[in-house]
Amino acid sequence: MIASRNGLNGQTLRKQYKERISGYRTWGQLGHAEEYMLFPDNFGADLSLDETCLSNGEVYTILTNKAAHGGKGALAAMIRGVASDTVVAVLRRVPYEIRQKVRTVTTDLSSAMMMTARAAFPKAMLVNDRFHVQRLVSEAIDQMRIGLRWEILAEENKAIRAHRARRKAARTRAEKDLVGEWEPERMENGETRPQIMARSRHIILTHKSKWNAQQQERAGILFRMFPRLEQAYNIYLELVDIFNKKSVPSEARLNLARWYNKVEDFGDEGFNKVIETFENHSHTIINYFVDRLTNASAESFNAKIKAFRSQFRGVGDIKFFMYRLATLYS
Given this model, what pLDDT does residue 19 score? 60
What's the distance, CA 143 to chain centroid?
Answer: 16
Q: Alpha-carbon distance 312 to 305, whole Å?
A: 11
Residue type, 12: T
Q: Alpha-carbon distance 86 to 113, whole Å?
A: 12
- Per residue in 296-323, pLDDT (tens digit) is 888 888 888 887 777 666 666 788 888 8
- Per residue in 4-23, pLDDT (tens digit) is 555 555 566 566 556 665 66
- Domain positions in the chain are 28-129+294-329, 131-151+194-285
DSSP labels, 268-318: -HHHHHHHHHHHHTHHHHHTHHHH---SHHHHHHHHHHHHHHHHTTS-S-H
Given this model, what pLDDT does residue 193 score? 93
Inform me whether the pLDDT recorded for 292 exceeds 70. Answer: yes
Please give the model's pTM, rounded to 2 decimal places.
0.84
* Cα–Cα–Cα angle for 211, 213, 217, rounded to 5 degrees: 95
Inform me whether the pLDDT recorded for 1 exceeds 50. Answer: no
Residue 194 — very low, low, confident or very high, per pLDDT cuts 50/70/90? very high
Average pLDDT over residues 143-161: 94
Given this model, what pLDDT does residue 10 score? 57
Inform me whether the pLDDT recorded for 157 exceeds 90. Answer: yes
Sign of the dihedral through C-alpha 30, 32, 36, 38: negative
Task: Calculate the average pLDDT of the chain.
Answer: 89
Inform me whether the pLDDT recorded for 156 exceeds 60. Answer: yes
- Per residue in 52-79, pLDDT (tens digit) is 887 777 899 999 999 998 888 999 999 9
Given this model, what pLDDT does residue 11 score? 62
Query: What topology does CATH give the domain 28-129+294-329?
Result: Nucleotidyltransferase; domain 5 (3.30.420)
Lowest average pLDDT, out of 129-138, 230-239, 286-295, 308-317, goes to: 308-317
Average pLDDT over residues 157-176: 89
Inform me whether the pLDDT recorded for 258 exceeds 90. Answer: yes
Average pLDDT over residues 85-96: 96
Average pLDDT over residues 142-163: 94
Share of the chain above pLDDT 70, in %: 91
Q: Alpha-carbon distance 50 to 48, whole Å?
A: 7
Strand partners, 63: 49, 77
DSSP labels, 183-204: ---B-TTS-BHHHHHHTTHHHH
Helix (H, G, I), strand (E, B) or coil at 224: helix
Residue 214 — very low, low, confident or very high, per pLDDT cuts 50/70/90? very high
Inform me whether the pLDDT recorded for 92 exceeds 60. Answer: yes
